[in-house]
């Protein structure tokens, strides 16, 4: 457990990200893929159902013994809340109401944010679009761990702890790498979420609040679904920057596992991403891919060649336009 990882820096490259060129090539060969773009009319109803399920869970856990509150927090609440963060990911691409109703998407994301307990949706939108536009961009892409994370979490035990603490690092990392002025939407997100949390505590007591907040932290830490954090862009094979996952957990995560397809076509809703692979199979079938996020987590911890430094990074050229 004490073996140190061999990497002492990121994998620096001097090429552009691969997704823009592949998108152009695929669209030239299969222009019908454009028909998959546009909002997913089902998404808003699925999100409303999931929010309703969590509201029902808040009511049901208020009278349980604490041991059962904690059990259901990990067994159920963590799954739903992680799924809700990925619903917000979908909405950040305007797939709920379309690009013509951008503000509807922003406020609907705040609604989807309610069962998570922590104000998340408005800030996520700003940084996530930078991640797509400037994948691996030094000082811009906050999905890439900091130098401290790469330097310190360099043994198996420390990598295990790092995975548990993923929610903390995702929250702090933007402040270290690419701080931005607070926007009005972010203030609104905080106010709405705080009012909801106080109302929940006042109405049904502490247990639903613990179920909500702990579920979010556990679901984004050491949890099977959180394997997607590692699977998407950590360099398990030299030179490969993005990886797709084609396992059953895509059913709970709005097909976020189809990650090469998503970065190639971010305006296509998750529900339709399998059709991209089906329509252009020669572009995806031979790319490195996963079928188990649990195995990804295990391999990341146990493989002494992998660490938070196992990311492709590039210096950006020209004008950088951030959200």
Report pLDDT digits (tens) over 230-246: 999 999 999 899 999 99
- pTM of structure: 0.94
Contact 80, 172 (CB under 8 A): no
Q: Which residues contact 72 (CB under 8 A, 6 or more apart)?
A: 57, 61, 64, 211
Total domains present in the chain: 1
Q: In this predicted model, what pLDDT tens digit does every residue of 255-309 receive, in sequence order?
A: 999 999 999 999 999 999 999 999 999 999 999 999 999 999 999 999 999 999 9
The answer to the question of residue 5 being in a domain is: no
Q: Give burial (CB, 10 Å; 0-12/13-18/19+) of 275.
A: middle
User: Hey, what are 213's tokens?
Assistant: 């907040």
The answer to the question of residue 42 being in a domain is: yes
The answer to the question of residue 117 being in a domain is: yes
The answer to the question of residue 319 being in a domain is: no
Alpha carbon distance 279, 46 (integer Å): 26
The answer to the question of residue 3 being in a domain is: no
User: Hey, what are 287's tokens?
Assistant: 């790319």
What residues make up the domain containing 177?
11-314
Q: Which of 206, 61, 189 is nearest to 120 (CA)?
A: 189
Alpha carbon distance 208, 69 (integer Å): 8
The answer to the question of residue 103 being in a domain is: yes
Q: How many CB atoms lie within 10 A of CB 234?
A: 21
The answer to the question of residue 4 being in a domain is: no
């Amino acid at each position: 457990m004490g073996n140190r990882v061999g990497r002492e820096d990121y994998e620096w490259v001097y090429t552009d990200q691969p997704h823009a060129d592949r998108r152009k090539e695929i669209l030239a060969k299969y222009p019908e893929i454009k028909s998959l773009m546009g909002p997913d009319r089902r998404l808003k109803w699925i999100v409303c159902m999931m929010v309703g399920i969590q509201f029902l869970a808040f009511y049901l856990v208020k009278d349980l013994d604490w041991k059962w509150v904690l059990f259901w927090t990990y067994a159920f609440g963590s799954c739903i809340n992680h799924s809700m963060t990925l619903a917000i990911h979908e909405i950040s691409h305007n797939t709920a109401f379309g690009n013509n109703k951008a503000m509807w998407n922003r406020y609907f994301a705040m609604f989807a944010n309610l069962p998570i307990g922590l104000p998340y949706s408005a800030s996520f939108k700003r940084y996530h679009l930078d991640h797509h536009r400037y994948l691996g961009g030094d000082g811009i892409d906050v999905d890439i761990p900091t130098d401290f994370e790469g330097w310190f979490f360099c043994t198996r035990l420390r990598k295990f702890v790092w995975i548990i603490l993923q929610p903390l690092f995702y929250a702090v990392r933007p402040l270290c790498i690419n701080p931005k002025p607070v926007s009005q939407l972010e203030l609104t997100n905080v106010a709405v979420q705080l009012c909801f949390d106080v109302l929940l505590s006042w109405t049904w007591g502490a247990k639903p609040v613990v179920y909500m907040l702990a579920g979010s932290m556990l679901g984004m830490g050491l949890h099977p679904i959180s394997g997607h954090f590692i699977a998407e862009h950590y360099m398990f094979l030299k030179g490969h920057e993005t990886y797709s996952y084609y396992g059953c957990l895509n059913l709970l995560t709005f097909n976020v596992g189809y990650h090469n397809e998503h970065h190639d076509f971010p305006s296509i809703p998750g529900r339709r991403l399998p059709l991209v692979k089906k329509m252009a199979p020669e572009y995806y079938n031979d790319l490195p891919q996963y079928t188990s996020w649990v195995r990804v987590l295990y391999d990341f911890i146990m493989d002494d060649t992998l660490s938070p430094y196992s990311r492709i990074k590039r210096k950006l050229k020209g004008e950088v336009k951030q959200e």
